[in-house]
Amino acid sequence: MPKLKTINREILQQVIAATTEPLLIVHIDQPDWPVVLANPAFKTITNDTVQAQPFADVIDKLAGRELALEVSEAIRSQQETSLPVEANNREYLLVLRPLKLPDEETAGFYVAYWRTGLGAGTAEGAEMHHTLLKAKRRIRDLSRDDPVTGLLNERAFADVFAHDWAVAAREHGKLSLVILTLDDFTGYVEVFGKHAADSCLRRVGQAIRRRLRRASDVVARPDAQRFIVLSHASDEDGVRDFAAKISAAVRELGLHHPRSKSSKFVTVSYEVSVADASAENCGAGEFLQRLLGPAEK
């Protein structure tokens, strides 16, 4: 059989336009992951203009922030995944698939399409399909998540940062990092014990996650007493204000801390760093290691 030549872009666009399933193509090698193509069928979900809009913001508006965060984390893992969603009072299976050539290590584009019927002909089949999807996501998450807080772990965060650093370096963009350290947390553990400390960490992690300004922001727990937030914001004053609001949100949890030297409640101190990836004389790994220093146990 003769080999096919590269398909003409206009022909490919015609094929996509004729697809009856709502479909978006997203450029994840660009800051904020802009939507570069939306087929006509996508208008059955929304009439809003999504072209050039950040993909995470599109999902946030359609299905809520929690799903937008989950979608962002799935894309950063560079894996194909499927998520049950609801839009316009209809159930869909949102399928996310990386688009890359066989010789490419990472995908520069993702396709997202909304399948009806959840990929199964019966209610029993749909339920089984959902169970399988959850199991697949759980296996993926076990290698990426911090077991205490459910946030990204140090290794997963390093992978995300390396990808975003490469994009920022190519596009002459900036990345902002906020490191949040629990104040006098060793004393908290000594008073209340490990189980209470784990509960505290989970609640602090949730408070930080709720304060993320956009769905493409990422929060991780790199070690025992610290959290780190990655944002594509470049205004240092704005990032400092963002960090101060996170700090206030943690204090407002009202978690009693009898050994704190600064407050009677659990609090966090923060450091802000805004990096111009294209101007730095080091790579992502070295920059992150230099910023975090030796891991706290």
Check residue 122 and give its pLDDT: 47
Q: Residue 7, SS3?
A: coil
Ranges of H-type helices in 64-122: 65-76
- Look at domain 154-292 and name its CATH class: alpha beta
Check residue 280 and give its pLDDT: 87
Count Cα atoms within 13 angstroms, Cβ side, for 147: 4
Count Cα atoms within 13 angstroms, Cβ side, for 213: 16
Please give, one letter per residue, the 3-state secondary structure of 180-237: EEECCHHHHHHHHCHHHHHHHHHHHHHHHHHCCCCCCCEEEEEECCEEEEEECCCCHH
Rounded Cα distance, 174 and 165, in Å: 8
Check residue 124 and give its pLDDT: 52
Rounded Cα distance, 202 and 188, in Å: 14
From first to last of its 297 residues, the chain has per-residue pLDDT tens of: 455 455 567 777 777 888 889 999 999 888 889 999 999 999 989 888 899 999 988 998 888 887 888 888 888 877 788 888 887 778 888 999 998 877 777 888 999 999 885 544 445 555 555 555 555 555 455 567 899 998 999 988 998 898 889 888 888 889 999 999 999 999 999 999 999 999 999 999 999 998 988 777 899 999 999 999 999 888 899 999 999 999 999 999 999 999 999 899 999 999 999 999 888 888 899 999 998 886 554
Domain boundaries, the chain: 9-144, 154-292
Check residue 1 and give its pLDDT: 41
Check residue 123 and give its pLDDT: 52
CA–centroid distance for 51 within its chain: 21
Check residue 187 and give its pLDDT: 96
pTM for this model (two decimals)? 0.72
- Look at domain 9-144 and name its CATH class: alpha beta
Rounded Cα distance, 105 and 101, in Å: 9
Q: State the CB neighbour count (10 A cutoff) for residue 144.
A: 18
Residue type, 100: K
Q: Are 43 and 87 in contact (CB under 8 A)?
A: no
